[in-house]
Structures are given as C-alpha cells and as structure tokens.
Amino acid sequence: MTVLQLALPTPLRRLFDYLPPADISGAQLQQLQPGQRLRVPFGRRELVGVLLAVRDGSALPESQLKPATALLDDNPVLAGDILQLCNWAADYYQHPAGEVFTAALPRQLRLGKPRETGSTKAWRLSRRGMGLPEGALPRSPKQAQALAALQATAAVSAEEFKQAGISSAVLRALEEKGLAERCRIAPPLREARTNPGLALNDDQQAALDSIASSAGRFGCHLLEGVTGSGKTEVYLQLIAGCLQRGQQALVLVPEIGLGPQTLARFQARFDADIVVLHSGLAEGARYRDWEAAAAGRAHIVIGTRSAIFAPLANPGLIVVDEEHDASYKQQDGFRYSARDLAVKRAQLADCPVVLGSATPSLESLHNALDGRYQHHHLPRRAGSAQLPTLQALDVRHLPLQASLSEPLTQRIEATLKQGQQTLLFLNRRGFAPSLQCHDCGWVADCNACDARLTVHLRQRRLRCHHCEASRPLPPTCPECHSRQLLTSGVGTEQAEAYLRERFAHWPVYRVDSDSMRGRDAMQALSDEVNRGQPCILLGTQMLTKGHHFPGVTLVAVLDADGLLFSADFRGEERMAQLLTQVAGRAGRADQPGTVILQTHHPDHPALQSLLQLSYAEQARQLLQQRRELGLPPCGQMLMLRTDATDAEAGEHFLAALRRAFEQAPQAQCQLIGPLPSPMPRRQGRYRSQLLVLARSRPAARAAAAQLVALAEGLPRSGGLNWSIDVDPSET
C-alpha cells in the first residue's frame, strides 16, 4: 500500500496520511516527489497540502485512509534547500509543519491554483523513444517526421510542431505508443551583466577577497562596518561574482530599510533581472516574481523577512543587511528569525552567507568571537568622512519646552544658521502619551489593554498604540466634568508644533508612522532633505533605518532616559544599537557631526558606557554579562505564552505545564514563571508567560519538544491560546 504523507495547513502538529488519488497513473505514482501539492478531503472541507514523503504503509489501517482528491503539480513547488529549510524550521521552532509550508508558498499556490511558470507546452522523447534508431517508423511519414524532430533536440514546442504542419493527433499517437511525452519548455534565461564598481579601500578589499574565496561552499561571514563604511559596496561586488558564476543572490533587508534608494543602487550596478519581494506587492506581481526566482530567471532577489523562503534554482550567495534589526523576527504565528534561517539556508544550499551591520547582534558577535563565523571589519567610513562625537546634556533643573532644553535649542539654531541640518530623535508618536484630569485624577486608559491612551491632537482623538481602539478626545473629564484635562509627556506631534513655532524660518519634517504613509513617502522626504537646505528632521525609530542624511551635522536624542530603562534583557543592546545607528546618520568629510543625549541620569552606567566605549566594546561587555547570567546568546531561551479571556486561565495552564515538565525526566533547564506578561492585558485578553533557560542548544531543543508535547495534552479553559517562542527576541 502506497501512502502519501502530507503537511496540511492546520494548527495540528503532525503530518497526515492519504492514499494516492484514484485517477493517478502508475507512472505518476512512481514519479511523486516531496514538494508536490495535492488536494485532499479534510473533514467537510478540502485542503491543499504539500507532499513530504511517500511510504509503504501507515500506522492507520487502510480502511481509515482516504484517497487524495487530486495531484496538483507535475513538479515540486518547493524543492531542494527550501523544502529542507521548511522541515528544519518546523522542527526547530516547534511549529505545525503545514503552517510553515503554507508560509513559504504564494497565496495562489496555497489556494491550489495551477502554476504559471511562464513555460510553454512541448514534447520530448520518452525513455522508450530514446531507444529507437534514426529513421524509425517508416510506415507513418508524419510520425517519422515528428520523431526525427524530437531526436534532434531535447524538446520541441507544440507551437513549432504546429508550424511544421504536424498535428497534435500525430503527437498523441506517438504518446500512445509510449515513444513521446509531454513536457514544458521554460523561457530562456538571460545573462546578467555588471557595471564597474568603486575602487575598494583596503578593508573592503580584504573582506571581499576573503568572502569571495569561500564561494561555492557554506561559510558564515559577519561584516561589521560602521555606518557609511561601504558594506553595501562589498555586497554589490560579491553579488557581481555570484552572477558571473551563473548563480543567484538573495538579499534580505529590514522592513523599513527597503527604499527605492537601495533598489536604484542595485539597478545602476547590474544589468540583470532584480525582483523585490515585500508585503506591499500585489498578489499577482508577487507570484510572478516568486516563479522568476524559482526558475532561476531572477538573478537577484531582494526582500524583507519572508523572502528567506523565496525559492532559488541556483543559490550562490545570501546577504542579510542590518542583521541586528528586530524586523527579522516574526513576532506572531510562525515565530522565526529570518537571520537565523538565512544561516541555516546557506548551509543547506552550500553557499556563503554575509551578515552585515554597524551594530551586530550579540548573537552574531558571539558566533564570530567563538570562531563559528568569520569576522570582517570595516572600521572607517568610506571616503574621508569622520564619525560624530557623543555628548550627554544634563537637563536636570533646566526648563523643557516640548522636551527641548534651551541649550539644545540654541545648538539647533546655530546649526541651522550655518546652513546645516539637524536630526532630532524622539521615539514616541502622537501629541502626548497620556491624558489626565487635574481635578479628580482620572486617566484615559484603554478599555482593552493595560495601557494609557495616546493623545493625537491634530485628529482630536485618543488612540491605543497596542490595539486598534480609538475614541474622540473628550472636552471634559468623563468622571467629574472638569475642563482641566492635562496631557503629560511629549510625543513627536507636540515637539513638531513647538519647533515650527520656534523655528518658523526653517522647514520641520516629522517622520513617524502617522506622518509617513505609503511606501514612497520616506523616499520623497529623503530626496527633499538631501538637496541640502538647512532643516529640522524630527522622528521616531523610522529615522534610524536605511536612510542617509549627509547634510545632518547635529543629532539630538530628546529623551535618552526613555531608552535607558527597559525591563527586557536586550534593553541595553537595543539602546546601544539604536543610538549608534542614529549617530551614524550624521556628519561627512568636511563637517563631522555631534550627537547630544538629553538625560536626567547623566551618571547612569549604561549611558556612561555609551559615551566612553565604541559599540564593539560595549557589545563585548554586554556579552560578558550575558555569559555570567546564562542568557542568550550564551544560553538558550524558550518562552511559552498564553492569552485568554479569563484572567486566571493562563497561569493555571502554565503552572500545570511546569509541574508536568518537572515530573517528567527532562533536559536540564531553569524555569521562571508563570508570570503575567509585561503588558498583562492586551486587546481584552489576559496574557501570561513561562520562561525557560537552557545551557545548550540540544537541551533547549529537547525541552521545546517536550513542553509542546505536554502542552498539547493539557486541558484548556477560558478561551485559552498558547504558543511557544524559540529564541524569543523579547521577554
């Protein structure tokens, strides 16, 4: 009995056995391969699954197995390294295989629609046909003519036969004799060309030579280079080599780093087919690009997180730019790290992977220091630009206007008067982060979350930044009807209003997710600013990614304290990365930049290290702390999370899980919790968590598998959902 083992898009963590479809031919059955899609009955529905294995039997009796409804593909839709990557990821992240495979397929294929590979119908000789001598079938001249055409080449398109006056009936006759078979011819591949690159400096050349020498085999390279040191130039020249060998390159970029600027640079360098995969694309276009990548027609594939699952016929190089960026981690559903999967994929595809950053993650640095990754340094800016200097500005006792102190305001004014630009960083959007009644103390809270509502004055609304909730700004206090409603704290909208008033002669550009809607808004702004007129840029995290502002000579962080105090164990790492990245936007050859950090805690040790140490030195210090505490990357972490409508259900569930885990013989682990999540209630659901620390990767993997198996067997109440997060990026 032949049994097909399928991954189906269900939340169940198992594979499903089916019998082959009734109408499948013996030859098709012989040729079944993992990665082909099948349509199958599932309860009262039909699902599209991916074949993972063909077996000789099943644990279930034949009477309980249903036949699949239809085989949907002649060839696998997922093959080679991608198929292996999905299998590996399902196991490593303990996520249902069906959902992993689904995540890797374009919607069109998930829905079971036929592939549109851009190929044309054609015919070729069957194995038996190949055994015939020349001049066979003399009694049937048309068939003989067709056979001769097939013998002359690998495949002949249906169109060519038609033009030669050979009807499809003739070809069907050959097919019935078992001499010819149908196939498809892919569109021709185009050769890529590369325009000359820049002459590299010594550091760039050393990195390029070393990485290029590992072409054709797996190797992981950390390219640590300060902002503007020419990492992208190194990627471009590596890609040139990859294309020259006839291989494809995959380039991952952070979510908001994917500007047309980046694309324009690639397009200027290469006369090649470059496809860009990101969530903003229309389904149809996205699918066409996916097929172009799968067929090997696309030479370069650039994309955000999910592009790590883009199929490549001939992978030769993977680049992860800004590898420390948080957007590489998927935070819900199938929680994977595209950066980590990039390393795994390179291993499976046997090609080099380059992780580039000015501020490498501690994970990558740890691997580099331990010799698992090769470490390449670009310590200087390309050209002659200098790095900016950092200064703390103690704002204790100073009057603040929309969170700007007078000394800072004066520096801004002086900068503008010298014809230069200023960048102000404030990681809080809206007008103010909270609204309170001065008479009775009422505070505007979200009904669904443990969070304050943010005042958006221009829209005259209160908005929750954690769920979709929003309501009109009340004219009076809902409790005591007082008119004394006061805002506290400052967001970008308020700082913008103040700056516009104070610096009426200069443009003020606000950059946050409220003001920058649409993909091209950020690019338009960057073009405007880079014309070089003096101006003020004010914005959130959005300002720190991907865009260069060479005319900026003064950078200020309005609320450095907001970054200093974080409950998360990655807080300091994130702060150091963020500030180094903000600082990296400033200064050029003739005008080195200055970065000012406004703070109430000038002596805070984290701030001191920031001022005194380079990012590389800080990172090594943080790594030492992590080692002492057994925290990632020096130990492994798992997080079990629950959310439920009932306030107690999560903690009960996790407590039961913990007991069960501790009773079973298990991997050596330290468990912390159950505890309420940092925001215990969100979107009306109560959330709790159980943290697991393991010494080694094998111990963590064993614990993850065991915890998932135990959790699946536990009773659930209160509408409870649970999930596991392997290598969580937040605690």
Q: How many CB atoms lie within 10 A of CB 260?
A: 16
Quick check: helix, strand or coil at residue 167? Answer: coil
| 6 scored as a contact of Zn ion (CB under 5 A) | no
| 449 scored as a contact of Zn ion (CB under 5 A) | yes
Q: Which of 89, 146, 179, 477 binds Zn ion (CB under 5 A)?
A: 477
- Residues 640 and 707: their CA atoms lie apart, in Å, by 9
| 19 scored as a contact of ligand ADP (CB under 6 A) | no
- Residues 522 and 519: their CA atoms lie apart, in Å, by 7
| 448 scored as a contact of Zn ion (CB under 5 A) | yes
Q: By 3-state DSSP, what share of the chain in percent is helix, strand and coil, each rounded to 5? A: 35, 25, 40
464 labelled binding-site residue: yes
Q: Which of 148, 480, 524, 629 binds Zn ion (CB under 5 A)?
A: 480
Smallest separation (angstroms) from ligand ADP to the CB of 223: 9
- C-beta of 130 vs 440, nearer to Zn ion: 440
Smallest separation (angstroms) from ligand ADP to the CB of 197: 8
| Integer Rg of the chain from CA | 30
- Residues 646 and 243: their CA atoms lie apart, in Å, by 56
Partner whose footprint covers residue 383, from Zn ion, ligand ADP, none (CB < 5 to 8 Å by kind) = ligand ADP
Smallest separation (angstroms) from ligand ADP to the CB of 322: 9
Residue in the structure block whose two tokens are 């700004």: 473
The token pair that represents 628 in the structure block:
């002492």
| 440 scored as a contact of Zn ion (CB under 5 A) | yes
| 728 scored as a contact of ligand ADP (CB under 6 A) | no
Amino acid, single-letter form, for residue 14: R
- Residues 77 and 702: their CA atoms lie apart, in Å, by 31
Partner whose footprint covers residue 204, from ligand ADP, Zn ion, none (CB < 5 to 8 Å by kind) = ligand ADP
Smallest separation (angstroms) from ligand ADP to the CB of 369: 21
| 674 scored as a contact of ligand ADP (CB under 6 A) | no
Q: How many helices (H) and strands (E) does the chain have?
A: 23, 34
Q: How many CB atoms lie within 10 A of CB 436?
A: 18
Residue in the structure block whose two tokens are 């470490």: 375
Stretch that binds Zn ion, among 71-79, 380-388, 456-464, 641-649 (CB under 5 A): 456-464
Stretch that binds Zn ion, among 63-71, 86-94, 469-477, 566-574 (CB under 5 A): 469-477
242 labelled binding-site residue: no
Smallest separation (angstroms) from ligand ADP to the CB of 233: 4
Partner whose footprint covers residue 229, from Zn ion, ligand ADP, none (CB < 5 to 8 Å by kind) = ligand ADP
CA dist 109 to 47, 102, 475, 653, Å? 12, 9, 52, 37
477 labelled binding-site residue: yes
- Nearest 5 degrees, angle CA 490-CA 585-CA 590? 125
| 325 scored as a contact of ligand ADP (CB under 6 A) | no
Binding mask 356-385 for ligand ADP (x = CB under 6 A): --------------------------xx--
CA dist 421 to 312, 481, 504, 507, 603, Å? 43, 45, 15, 10, 29
Angle between helices 141-152 and 168-176 in degrees, nearest 10: 80
Q: Which helix (H) or strand (E) holds 339?
A: helix 338-349
Task: Name beta bridge partners: 694.
Answer: 636, 669
Residue 376: closest CA among 217, 215, 231: 231
Binding mask 232-271 for ligand ADP (x = CB under 6 A): xx--------------------------------------
Binding mask 218-237 for ligand ADP (x = CB under 6 A): -------x-xxxxxxx----
How is residue 452 annotated by DSSP?
B
183 labelled binding-site residue: no
Q: From edge to edge, which strands make up the β-sheet containing 552-557?
A: 389-394, 594-599, 552-557, 421-425, 536-539, 508-511
Smallest separation (angstroms) from ligand ADP to the CB of 636: 31
Amino acid, single-letter form, for residue 653: F
Partner whose footprint covers residue 729, from ligand ADP, Zn ion, none (CB < 5 to 8 Å by kind) = none
Smallest separation (angstroms) from ligand ADP to the CB of 352: 18
- Residues 638 and 391: their CA atoms lie apart, in Å, by 38
Q: Which of 79, 136, 200, 647 binds ligand ADP (CB under 6 A)?
A: 200
Smallest separation (angstroms) from ligand ADP to the CB of 511: 19
Q: How many residues bind Zn ion (CB under 5 A)?
A: 15
449 labelled binding-site residue: yes
DSSP 351-386: -EEEEEESS--HHHHHHHHTTSSEEEEE-S-STTPP
The footprint of Zn ion (CB under 5 A) covers 437, 439-440, 442, 446, 448-449, 464, 466-467, 469, 477, 479-480, 482
Q: Which residues bind to ligand ADP, rule: CB under 6 A?
A: 198-201, 204, 225, 227-233, 382-383
Residues belonging to the binding site are 437, 440, 446, 449, 464, 467, 477, 480
Residue set of the binding site for Zn(2+):
437, 440, 446, 449, 464, 467, 477, 480
